[in-house]
Amino acid sequence: KANAWMNTGEGGLSPYHLQGGADIVFQIGTAKYGVRDKNGNLSDEKLREIAAHDTVRMFEIKMSQGAKPGKGGMLPAAKVDDEISKIRGIPAHTDSISPNRHPEIENNDDLIDMINHIRQVTGKPVGFKAVIGDKTWLCEFLTAVNKRGKEFAPDFITIDSADGGTGAAPMSLLDYVGMPIHESLPLVIDTICKSGLRDRIKVIASGKLINPAEVAWALCVGADFITSARGFMFSLGCIQALQCHQNTCPTGITTHNKKLQRGLVAEQKSTRVANYIKNMAYEVGLISHSCGVHSPRELSRRHARIVQENGTSVMLADIYPDICAVNMKNQAEL
């Protein structure tokens, strides 16, 4: 109904992900849920099993998430029933810890190695998701990629905003660590352009981009795709009770409590989710046509203006000149 891809999140691939026939992005979290061996290490055999599903289109290594960059997590035993145990590959009725990082990634070369190993094993595109705190690391990573060759680059990078949300995040990280998407997205795209890898690496924007104006802005900056968790949670009925990790979600979305789950009627909510994405696509298209372009992908930085504190606005292209466009022009002149 929704005509959109679906990210599994770090919890593994369930039969329910496959029922609708949607394109799937399989996310590999630090606990390697769904693709781990008995010791919690990445399993090539499990990777191949996941990749064998035609609807699983690509793999995303989760480095960090917007709400709590640099912190791991714990799935409480009360939520680890037999079904979750089977899907994630962990002991039932026991607390499950997600480390704050991937132990096998100590440096940029390790990250490149992991990306390419998963790509070779699965035969599918592989990228990573991260919250950006500074461009220094990104410059170093892209330099390391160029030393090896473009074929070693990630197929995509998902940029998560520091103001992303989950009820299971400490407020100190939620409010103060990482860069918001409005700052990090142009920085990342321009840095990739300067590295000469923009034609090789797709950029996915994520983090509070829940309305047509925000999605159109991200496309103007240069994002190839926009993803959302919050928007779909709202369409399901999320009221931001901040009880996601306590098994007491009053709307039934993030709880295993059968009584509370009655608040989530899938047959009704699925229609609302589909309507959300359909109306989003329509409204973004409407904005695009009003800007004088045929499709949203033709939006550029000259189509957006940023309102300043004094009430006046400045063209986005004046704040962030389009490095990629300049590079293409220079190459054409040569």
pLDDT tens-digit series, residues 60-116: 999 987 666 667 788 889 889 999 999 999 999 999 988 889 999 999 999 999 999
Instruction: Specify the CATH superfamily of domain 6-298.
Output: Aldolase class I (3.20.20.70)
Q: Look at residue 157 and tell me whether its pLDDT is greater than 70.
A: yes
> Could you state, in order of their start, the residue ranges of all structural domains in the chain?
6-298, 300-334
Burial of 67 (0-12, 13-18, 19+ CB in 10 A): buried
- 140-to-49, 135, 330 alpha-carbon distances in Å: 34, 9, 25
Percent of the chain predicted with pLDDT > 90: 75
- Looking at residue 334, its pLDDT comes to 46
If phi > 0 it is left, if psi is from -120 to 50 it is alpha, else beta; for residue 98 that is beta
pLDDT band at 12 (very low <50, low <70, confident <90, very high): very high
Q: Look at residue 216 and tell me whether its pLDDT is greater than 90.
A: yes
